[in-house]
Amino acid sequence: MKVAELISVGTELLLGDILNSNAQYLSKQLASLGIACYYQSTVGDNPDRLQKAIELAASRANLLIFTGGLGPTPDDLTTETIARTFNTPLFEDPAIVADIAAKFAQRSRQMTDNNLKQAMRPEGAEVLPNPVGTAPGIIWSPKPDVVLMTFPGVPTEMKRMWQDTAVPYLRSRQWATEVIASRTLRFWGVSESALAEKVGDLFDSTNPTVAPYANWGEVKLRIAAKAGTEAEAFAVIAPVEEHLRSIGGIDCYGTDEESLASVVGQLLASQGETLSVAESCTGGGLGSLLTAVPGSSGYFLGGVIAYDNRIKQALLGVEAEVLEAHGAVSAAVAQRMAEGVRDRTGSTWGLAITGVAGPGGGTAEKPVGLVYIGIAGPQVSVGLPQRFGDRGREWVRQVSACTALDQLRRRLIVRLG
Amino acid sequence: MKVAELISVGTELLLGDILNSNAQYLSKQLASLGIACYYQSTVGDNPDRLQKAIELAASRANLLIFTGGLGPTPDDLTTETIARTFNTPLFEDPAIVADIAAKFAQRSRQMTDNNLKQAMRPEGAEVLPNPVGTAPGIIWSPKPDVVLMTFPGVPTEMKRMWQDTAVPYLRSRQWATEVIASRTLRFWGVSESALAEKVGDLFDSTNPTVAPYANWGEVKLRIAAKAGTEAEAFAVIAPVEEHLRSIGGIDCYGTDEESLASVVGQLLASQGETLSVAESCTGGGLGSLLTAVPGSSGYFLGGVIAYDNRIKQALLGVEAEVLEAHGAVSAAVAQRMAEGVRDRTGSTWGLAITGVAGPGGGTAEKPVGLVYIGIAGPQVSVGLPQRFGDRGREWVRQVSACTALDQLRRRLIVRLG
What is the reported pLDDT for A259? Answer: 97
Examine the domain organization and report whether A367 and A264 are in the same domain.
Answer: yes
Query: Which residues in chain A have their CB less than 8 angstroms from residue B292's CB?
Result: 283, 393-394, 397
DSSP characters over B132-198: SSS--EEEEEEETTEEEEEE-S-HHHHHHHIIIIIHHHHHHTTS---EEEEEEEEEESS-HHHHHHH
What is the reported pLDDT for B15? Answer: 87
pTM: 0.78
Cβ <8 Å between A302 and B283: yes
What are the residue ranges of helices labelled H in B175-272? 192-199, 230-248, 260-271
CATH of the domain at A350: 3.90.950.20
Phi then psi dihedrals of residue B415, to 5 deg? -65, -40
Element (H, E) at A163: none
- Band (pLDDT 50/70/90 cuts) for residue A107 is confident
Examine the domain organization and report whether A109 and A214 are in the same domain.
Answer: no
Phi then psi dihedrals of residue A128, to 5 deg? -105, 100
Alpha carbons B111 and B106: distance in angstroms, whole number: 11
Examine the domain organization and report whether A72 and A55 are in the same domain.
Answer: yes
Tell me what ipTM this predicted complex has: 0.77
Contact B223, B208 (CB under 8 A): yes
Q: Which of B141, B172, B203 is the C-terminal boundary of a domain?
A: B172
Whole-Å CA distances, A260 to A257, A290, A405: 10, 9, 6
Q: Which of B144, B172, B200 is the C-terminal boundary of a domain?
A: B172
Q: Which of B255, B275, B295 is the C-terminal boundary of a domain?
A: B255
Percent of chain A with pLDDT over 90: 76
- Residue whose C-alpha is closest to residue B345's, from B317, B308, B384, B380: B317
Alpha carbons A174 and B124: distance in angstroms, whole number: 50
Amino acid at B117: K
Examine the domain organization and report whether A275 and A393 are in the same domain.
Answer: yes
Q: What is the pLDDT of residues B83-140, one digit of tens each?
A: 999 999 999 999 999 988 888 887 777 777 778 888 999 999 999 999 888 889 999 9
Alpha carbons A392 and A368: distance in angstroms, whole number: 9
Examine the domain organization and report whether A271 and A306 are in the same domain.
Answer: yes
The mean pLDDT value of chain B amounts to 93
What is the reported pLDDT for B417? Answer: 60
Examine the domain organization and report whether B307 and B375 are in the same domain.
Answer: yes
Q: What is the pLDDT of residues B214-233, one digit of tens each?
A: 888 999 999 999 888 889 99
CATH of the domain at A66: 3.40.980.10
In 3-state terms, chain B is what percent helix, strand and coil (to 5)? 45, 25, 30
- Mean pLDDT, residues B286-309 taken together: 97
DSSP state at residue A296: G
Ramachandran assignment for A68, one of left (phi > 0), alpha (psi -120 to 50 degrees), beta (any other): left
Examine the domain organization and report whether A224 and A268 are in the same domain.
Answer: no
Examine the domain organization and report whether B98 and B235 are in the same domain.
Answer: no
Distance from CA of A115 to the nearest CA of B (A): 7
Contact A33, A64 (CB under 8 A): no
What is the reported pLDDT for B116? Answer: 86
- Mean pLDDT, residues A110-126 taken together: 89
Examine the domain organization and report whether A190 and A164 are in the same domain.
Answer: no
Whether residue A295 lies within 8 A of chain B, CB to CB, comes out as yes
Contact A344, B314 (CB under 8 A): yes
Examine the domain organization and report whether A188 and A100 are in the same domain.
Answer: no
Q: Higher pLDDT residue, A103 or A13?
A: A13
Contact B351, B362 (CB under 8 A): no
- Which 3 state secondary structure label does DSSP give A308? coil
- Residue whose C-alpha is closest to residue B266's, from B112, B120, B412: B412
Q: What is the pLDDT of residues A258-291, one digit of tens each?
A: 999 999 999 999 999 999 999 999 999 999 999 9
Domain residues for the domain of B99 are: 3-172
Identify the weakest region by mean pLDDT among A78-87, A189-198, B63-72.
Answer: A189-198
- Those residues whose C-beta lies under 8 Å from the C-beta of residue A293, and which sit 6 or more positions away, are A259, A261, A262, A265
Distance from CA of B409 to the nearest CA of A (A): 20
Cβ <8 Å between B16 and A24: yes
User: HSE on the CB side for A115, CA within 13 Å?
Assistant: 22
Determine the residue of chain B that is closest to A109 in CA distance. B191
- Mean pLDDT, residues B380-384 taken together: 95
Cβ <8 Å between A301 and B292: no
DSSP state at residue A284: T
Q: What is the pLDDT of residues A147-187, one digit of tens each?
A: 999 999 999 999 999 999 999 999 899 888 777 888 999 99
Examine the domain organization and report whether A223 and A329 are in the same domain.
Answer: no
Specify the number of domains making up chain B: 3
Phi then psi dihedrals of residue A100, to 5 deg? -65, -45
Query: Which residues in chain A have their CB less than 8 angstroms from residue B40's CB?
Result: 13-14, 41-42
